[in-house]
Structure 1
Amino acid sequence: MSDDELPLLIHGLHNFLSIWSIFFDALFLLCVYEILTSIALFIIFPRVIPLGTDAIVVAIEGPCRLLPVRSCYACYSVLLNGIGMFNIQTTSCFLFRYKISSIRQTISYNTMLVIPAVIFTAILNFGIDPREILDPLLIKHVPQYDLVTKALGGITDPLHSPALPSIVWINVTASQCFFLNVWAGLSIRRSLDRNSNSFSSRTQKVHREFLSVCVY
């Protein structure tokens, strides 16, 4: 290798490592989201009980029952916002296919994604109401449910609750994956309908059952 080729090699290596460091930064943050969400999913088994416009109640099962209700609800907040951040981070990783000017820009972008997750997790946890308020609503709407021994958390009057921005945030971030699943399912169905003559009746039945789960 000549002395003239060494600077070119160093420059090329710098560009190569810069690209991989950008992807590493994105994947590292994505892994952090996934780890926190997985831990929350492992220790809490939530059962959502909608009570119309009066309240949204979460009955908590799993190892999280050994913790105070406030801590369990905090884990549930992390779980919901972790799923939302996973959807957003997946979208951002898709955008990283295009040219990015610097690593600092990527880190700043990922930091901007973290901020709303932290804020909305705190807001959702702040909006929890005590069991004394939830019990009369449960007796009114679902008296057949036996929730005496369950750890309960919930939000009363969700349309006017301070947790409403967090609820909207979670549903909006999840909507893109929902519509993507519907679009993909419909596309697969059209493709299978066009080629249904080449499949056996048993295979067609399996396809119909699969699509009914994806789309309907």
Structure 2
Amino acid sequence: MEKEGQGGGSVIAFNDITEQKKYQESLELINQILEKQAATDPLTGIYNRMKFSKVLGNEMKRAERHGTQLAVMLLDIDKFKSINDTYGHLDGDNVLKSLIQLLAQNIRSRDILARWGGEEFILLAPGTDLEGGRLIAEKLRLAVAECDFPIPRPVTSSFGVAAFQPGDTELTLTNRADQALYRAKEQGRNRVEVL
């Protein structure tokens, strides 16, 4: 009931959040872009070492928990410095990009490829033992050796393969692959070594 001199009614307030919503969507898009930049190598578009380390840690935990196999392959383009010195860094970059396309076409969808540094790359093969890793590496080595890269000379690569062992850390596993890669280079390059 209304008292004399007082009106009855309601106040309805509308607040247009269109601009606020656009701003929030912009921030989300920027965050997605930044996350991708933080996880990928800008030249090749594959995972960088930091992102690979996270993935490797998760895969090692899974392998330990379920008792499954896991192989890691480090690969290096043989005498890459001479490619850059002879043909220039642009051609060297084109060789790296071509290599990544070639590798991506020759690995399984569940395998994870990342740039380890410079002309070194690392491949994680879940569900694969040491011999399976060696076979994958040999297949990739042959594919690289037979590929026509965008420079007028052959390109070869060396591979070091290691398999996960219970109790391994990321460092012990990747160090074994690195030691095997070093052995492949010492033994004349364009080869696969396991450790």
* TM-score with structure 1 setting the length: 0.24
Q: Which has the higher helix share?
A: 1
